[in-house]
């Protein structure tokens, strides 16, 4: 897998995952919506750890900084 996520993208995803988890565990969100959002938060953390987003690949999106060839 070629990395396609930059550091800013990873940080934003982790922050969103933490917010969703906090809302779920404090009872602000619950039920089916809460579980779906909790799974989404887990996916955000996982993709941040591996620096690869499968949804970016088919569209050719990459938030990694471009390295200049010298």
Q: Give the CA-trace dihedral at 2, 10, 20, 60, to 10 degrees.
A: -40
pLDDT tens-digit series, residues 1-58: 788 899 999 999 999 999 999 999 999 999 999 999 999 999 999 999 999 999 888 8
Q: How far apart are CA 6 and CA 66, in angstroms?
A: 10
The domain ranges of the chain are 7-51
69 has a pLDDT exceeding 70: no
pLDDT at position 68 is 56
């Amino acid at each position: 897998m070629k990395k396609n996520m930059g550091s800013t993208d990873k940080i934003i995803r982790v922050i969103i995952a933490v917010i969703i988890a906090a809302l779920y565990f404090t009872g602000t969100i619950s039920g089916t919506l809460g579980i779906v959002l909790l799974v989404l938060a887990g996916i955000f953390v996982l993709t941040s750890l591996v620096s690869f987003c499968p949804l970016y690949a088919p569209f050719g999106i990459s938030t990694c900084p471009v390295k200049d060839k010298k």
